[in-house]
Amino acid sequence: TQLLEQSPQFLSIQEGENLTVYCNSSSVFSSLQWYRQEPGEGPVLLVTVVTGGEVKKLKRLTFQFGDARKDSSLHITAAQPGDTGLYLCAGSVRTDSWGKLQFGAGTQVVVTP
């Protein structure tokens, strides 16, 4: 059982559409990170959120951390083909987890021109 549940598992949209990916847990996280991974490559860090209720924007990407620090969402506005990839959320349950991130199963996003 994954500590972090991501939904949906797969998302296929047209260029220009918006999308939202969700990451939920019953556990409280001290911090939560979002990564994007392309086939055969390592995950690339997009953002880290640490404060409940925090909202961070990175160009067309908006990240939100829930007030209770148990959930997060990633919203992409006007998606482009370059946004295609596997989006992973990951978190640390405790500040002394020493390098251990719990990962969600990922959301595969495909943006077609």
Partner 1 sequence: KAGVTQTPRYLIKTRGQQVTLSCSPISGHRSVSWYQQTPGQGLQFLFEYFSETQRNKGNFPGRFSGRQFSNSRSEMNVSTLELGDSALYLCASSLTGASTEAFFGQGTRLTVV
Residues that bind partner 1 (CB under 8 A): 2, 30-31, 33, 35, 40-45, 48, 50, 88, 90, 92, 94-106
CB 70 → partner 1: shortest distance, Å?
16
**Whose Cβ is closer to partner 1: residue 58's or residue 78's?**
58
Closest CA to 54 of 67, 42, 39: 67
**Whose Cβ is closer to partner 1: residue 36's or residue 79's?**
36
Closest CA to 42 of 92, 101, 112: 101
Structure tokens at 80: 């482009």
